[in-house]
Structure 1
């Protein structure tokens, strides 16, 4: 990853043309026309897109990985591992968590650990004492498509020699150009706000996490106030 990213940056990518696609050319998605009855019984139609990659035997398309790096030598506390990746549909570099599609026969947790290693080189474990380590099945944009995701929280032990700089061995695909970086969890909202100001696109999973953490701080403060 270091050699590849030292030569190429996601910021160097750009969209050069946009045109209508013949549905027969599509490899990963398909368009559907849905007929349904509304609550009054009236017949209506809906346009939808669907992935063609969901493995048989599972209801899950993919996973997003919330990877928290715990470094006992760091004075900044736990950090969130993030990525910069160019996304052609919006012609922007997005700030994302590691993510990917589930392979046939995989459970979401296994897919998360595999995707993290492939995209970043980090070796992680699932926290056994976290109630929400594996999240709900979440629907990305149900008014537009049936794509869904499970968010998996994992921990990266930075004292593990395999997770040290120089020992990371990501396995990026030929078309992947991913730049990894970290943000201290206690300053996530502020740093994402700065990245947004700079013109980066904030992925919904990252933005929702940051906003949820900020709201949790507010309500925690409110709950801890002395009612007297």
Structure 2
């Protein structure tokens, strides 16, 4: 596989044109018209997109990998592994977690470990003591499409020799830049990236916002009455 671990700015890639695709040419999605009945009994119509890549025996389309790099030697503590990748639908480079479709017959956990290695080169493991290691089935945009994702928590042991010089195994069409952000400063770092013109993926933004909310309410719960 090619190694396209190339660093680039939001201006390095761009959309050249946009036109309407005939439905019979679409490989990955299908547009549907849903006739449904609302709570009052009235019939209504809903337009929706349906993903065509889900495995026959799977209820989940894809995984997102929450990869935490645990390096005891680091002065900044644990960090989260993120990626920069150009996304044509929004004509921007997005800040994302490693992610990918689940292969036929593959579990979400196995898929997460595989995608992490392919996209970043890191070897990760699912922590057995983490309650949320394999998360809920989450629907990305239920008002628009049926796509869903599981967020999988993966630990990367930086003492493992295999993680000292990770080499991605990217496809020819993949141009992904991996980088890390300290967990305790994730919100501020994402703010800077947004100001620089990057788009923040919903999964990454939700993780950061959840961490900030947890900090606030932890302080409130431990404050003397």
TM-score computed with the length of structure 1 as normaliser: 0.95
Q: Distance in 2 between matches of 1:68 and 1:132?
A: 14
Find out whether 1:181 has 2:140 as its counterpart.
Answer: no
1:154, distance to aligned residue in structure 2 (A): 0.4
Q: Unaligned stretches of 5+ in structure 2? A: none
- 5 Å matches for 1:1-228? 4-6=4-6, 9=8, 11=10, 12-165=12-165, 168-227=166-225
Q: Distance in 2 between matches of 1:3 and 1:110?
A: 22
1:58, distance to aligned residue in structure 2 (A): 1.0
Q: Distance in 1 between matches of 2:111 and 2:219?
A: 36
Measured on the aligned residues, the alpha-carbon RMSD in Å equals: 1.4
Q: Distance in 1 between matches of 2:120 and 2:2?
A: 10
Show CA shifts across 1:200-225 (max 9, x none): 00000000000000000000000001
SS in 2 for 1:83: strand
For the 8 Å contact 2:67–2:81, the answer to whether it is kept is yes
1:9, distance to aligned residue in structure 2 (A): 2.6
1:226, distance to aligned residue in structure 2 (A): 1.0
For the 8 Å contact 1:10–1:179, the answer to whether it is kept is no
For the 8 Å contact 1:10–1:85, the answer to whether it is kept is no
TM-score computed with the length of structure 2 as normaliser: 0.97
Indicate how the Cα distance of structure 1 residues 146 and 202 shifts in structure 2: closer, same or farther if over 3 A, else same.
same
Q: Distance in 2 between matches of 1:3 and 1:83?
A: 15
Q: Distance in 2 between matches of 1:188 and 1:194?
A: 10
List structure 1 runs of 4+ shifted beyond 3 angstroms.
Answer: 1-6
Indicate how the Cα distance of structure 1 residues 126 and 50 shifts in structure 2: closer, same or farther if over 3 A, else same.
same
SS in 2 for 1:18: coil
Q: How many residues are matched?
A: 224
Q: Unaligned stretches of 5+ in structure 1? A: none
SS in 2 for 1:19: coil
SS in 1 for 2:192: helix
Q: Distance in 2 between matches of 1:103 and 1:86?
A: 23
1:5, distance to aligned residue in structure 2 (A): 3.4
SS in 1 for 2:5: helix
For the 8 Å contact 1:10–1:86, the answer to whether it is kept is no
Indicate how the Cα distance of structure 1 residues 106 and 3 shifts in structure 2: closer, same or farther if over 3 A, else same.
closer
1:3, distance to aligned residue in structure 2 (A): 6.2
